[in-house]
Amino acid sequence: MQRLLLPPVVWFASVGVMVILQRTWPLAALPADARVLAWWAGGVLVLAGLAMAQWHARLFKRIGTNINTFGEPGTLTTAGLFAYTRNPMYLGMLLALAGVALALGTLSPWVLVLQFFVLAQCWYIPLEERKLAARFGRQYADYCRDVRRWI
């Protein structure tokens, strides 16, 4: 069951539901002339967000730490954007999802952006933070004091 709830699986499922919502319930669609700009701006957000998430996933692989949300942490990572946000992978995934919603050009897909944020904020991140606090203690508490959860 945990494998089905991994953040990338939820992200891809969210994109699929966003497309379905946009096609079946296109609430408050943008005017035609604004859709082109929204599509390009959304594409930029998708690329930037996925690049951010992938960069830090590769960082985890390079330093040999666990990337699995439900696994045990290997090391306390403060390199890259981890120096500015404790969750650059979730932030990147959220930006990319917002880009998809923007590119789709209607209001209804934004429900899935909110859903992903709530899931990360209320379940994934607290789960990871408890494990990091148990493993790294004071070092992690100091990191949390110095670096915000999101931005």
pLDDT at 1 over 80: no
pLDDT recorded at residue 21: 94
43-64: average pLDDT: 97
130-136: average pLDDT: 97
Residue (of 60, 62, 70) closest to 92 by Cα position: 60
Exposed/middle/buried for residue 43 (C-beta within 10 Å: 0-12, 13-18, 19+): middle
Tokens of 10: 């939820």
pLDDT at 131 over 60: yes
pLDDT recorded at residue 29: 86
> 4 falls in which pLDDT band (50, 70, 90)?
low
d(CA 97, CA 102): 9
pLDDT at 3 over 80: no
- Is the Cβ–Cβ distance between 139 and 147 less than 8 Å? no
Q: For the chain, which residues make up each domain, given as ranges?
A: 2-146
Exposed/middle/buried for residue 33 (C-beta within 10 Å: 0-12, 13-18, 19+): exposed
Of all residues in the chain, the percent with pLDDT exceeding 70 is: 97
Which tens digit of pLDDT belongs to each residue from 80-124? 999 999 999 999 999 999 999 999 999 999 999 999 999 999 999
Q: Tell me phi and psi for residue 148, to 5 degrees.
A: -75, 160
